[in-house]
Amino acid sequence: MKRLASISVLLMLKARAFAVARFPKPDFHSGYQYPDIVHTVPNETFWSWMDLGILTLMLLAAVWAVHRAKSRRIILGISLVSVLYFGFYRSGCVCSLGSIQNVALAIADPGYHLPLVVLLLFLLPLAFALFAGRVFCAGVCPIGALQELVNVRNFRISRPVTVALGVIPWIYLAFAILYAATRSQFIICRFDPFIGIFRMGGDIGMIVFGVLLLLLAVFVGRPFCQFLCPYGALLGLFSRFSARKVEITSPECINCSLCHHACPVDAIRPPSRSSREEAAGKGIKRVLLYLCVLPLLTVGGALLLDSQHDSLSLANKQVRLLHLLQTQEETATLQMAPEVEAFHEMGGDVQVLEEQVGHIRQQFHLWSLLAGGLIGFSVGCRLLRLSVKRTRKTYEIDPVACVACGKCWSYCPQNKSR
């Protein structure tokens, strides 16, 4: 047995020696150059320009459907194409809604290269809104189109509630600009409730939120577009000055109120004579009061948000890392956060990090002032808009709120008779 064991040991040593000779260690100084390996990647530039071209064609089709044909069926067809192509096929990215953040970052950081396609995706729907109203919302936007396709009936929300909730998109827009300009987060993309539905996967919380919004959209017209969409706030602003407004009917309105009850977003204002019944000078005094309050709301909003800029800056990963390092040093706990452990393992310099965080906090100081001023100014403008009362002899469309869905056309007896 001892002889057999010794023979086995000799064989193993011989095999190891043979293995070393057979597989020598690599020689890094032999002068051999490895060939370049080329991987074929998808041509995203081509698809981006393809998206822009299809977007332009669909916007033109929406203009024709809204202002020329007045066809609800064409708008539904455009909505279906938008959901299938921009939504499920292209996974909802890059979209005009998310491009707000790219534009804000380009304005704040001259070193950031803004792709021309992304800039055009941002500007094109706004340009169409300036000339033809919110035709992008009619069916070209996949988020609005998906809500429109599932809508069955509409429970009207009271006017004061819709007015109060209408401030949320401007608040959302202000924070999206703040976090994008400081290179902290793209919160529009991160908290998009429909991106998980279009991609059929992702954060379970956002998917549940998107499903709940779709269920709500069955009974309430476009809840995301009305009360959350920051790009919709910009489109509404541009549509106020549009050269050609969306009309209910070409013939004279007979004030039957059918269109008013059919509108899913409560964008049709009924006839009103309140301005004539109001005491002389009372309306002017009210408007002047809100004009005086407007600068105060703007400054107040700017100062209020700026007072919280240190807390808001924690959304930036560099600021958050320094905060974790300082907390670790103060508490002297043995268990370190993964970010702190990675920072030490990579040989990070705390002094350099403090300088970077100081610069980031200065950016938050500036952009918090601007974002807070935008919020205060939007609230003041909303109050000012409500204070202005004018006479309407017929039912009229509010261009700011109208999404050009075309539901009112089929309800109007003037259109049917024509």
Across 49-58, 204-213, 335-344, 390-399, least confident range: 335-344
Residues 339-351 have a mean pLDDT of 84
pTM across the whole model: 0.84
Q: Is the predicted pLDDT of residue 265 greater than 80, yes or no?
A: yes
- How much is the pLDDT for 418? 60
Quick one: pLDDT band at residue 66, thresholds 50, 70, 90? very high
- How much is the pLDDT for 410? 86
Percent of the chain with pLDDT over 70: 86
Quick one: pLDDT band at residue 46, thresholds 50, 70, 90? confident
Alpha-carbon gap, residue 295 to 289, rounded angstroms: 11
Residues 385-410 have a mean pLDDT of 86
The partner residues of 272 in beta bridges, in order of sequence, read 392
- How much is the pLDDT for 29? 54
Burial of 160 (0-12, 13-18, 19+ CB in 10 A): exposed
Q: What is the 8-class DSSP label of residue 269? A: E
- How much is the pLDDT for 22? 46
Alpha-carbon gap, residue 205 to 186, rounded angstroms: 17
Quick one: pLDDT band at residue 102, thresholds 50, 70, 90? very high
Quick one: pLDDT band at residue 33, thresholds 50, 70, 90? low
- How much is the pLDDT for 330? 80
CA distances from 383 to 90, 297, 377, 389 (A): 40, 11, 10, 12
Q: Is the predicted pLDDT of residue 6 greater than 60, yes or no?
A: no
Tell me the residue ranges of DSSP E strands in 231-375. 268-269
Quick one: pLDDT band at residue 210, thresholds 50, 70, 90? very high
Residues 372-377 have a mean pLDDT of 95
**pLDDT, tens only, 116-143:** 999 999 999 999 999 999 999 999 999 9
Q: Is the predicted pLDDT of residue 17 greater than 90, yes or no?
A: no
Residues 287-292 have a mean pLDDT of 80
CA distances from 70 to 67, 162, 246, 409 (A): 6, 27, 10, 7
Domain ranges of the chain: 47-271+397-417, 282-385
- How much is the pLDDT for 100? 95
- How much is the pLDDT for 78? 96
- How much is the pLDDT for 20? 44
Q: Is the predicted pLDDT of residue 9 greater than 60, yes or no?
A: no
Highest mean pLDDT among 28-42, 94-108, 331-345: 94-108
402 vs 342 pLDDT, higher one: 402
Buried b (16+ CB within 10 A) or exposed e, 275-290: eeeeeeeebeebeeeb
Q: Is the predicted pLDDT of residue 269 greater than 50, yes or no?
A: yes
Nearest CA to 169 among 231, 238, 122, 102?
231
**pLDDT, tens only, 148-187:** 999 988 888 887 788 888 899 999 999 999 999 999 999 9
- How much is the pLDDT for 273? 63
> Residue 81: which region, alpha, beta or left (left: phi > 0; alpha: psi -120 to 50)?
alpha
**pLDDT, tens only, 72-93:** 999 999 999 999 999 999 887 7
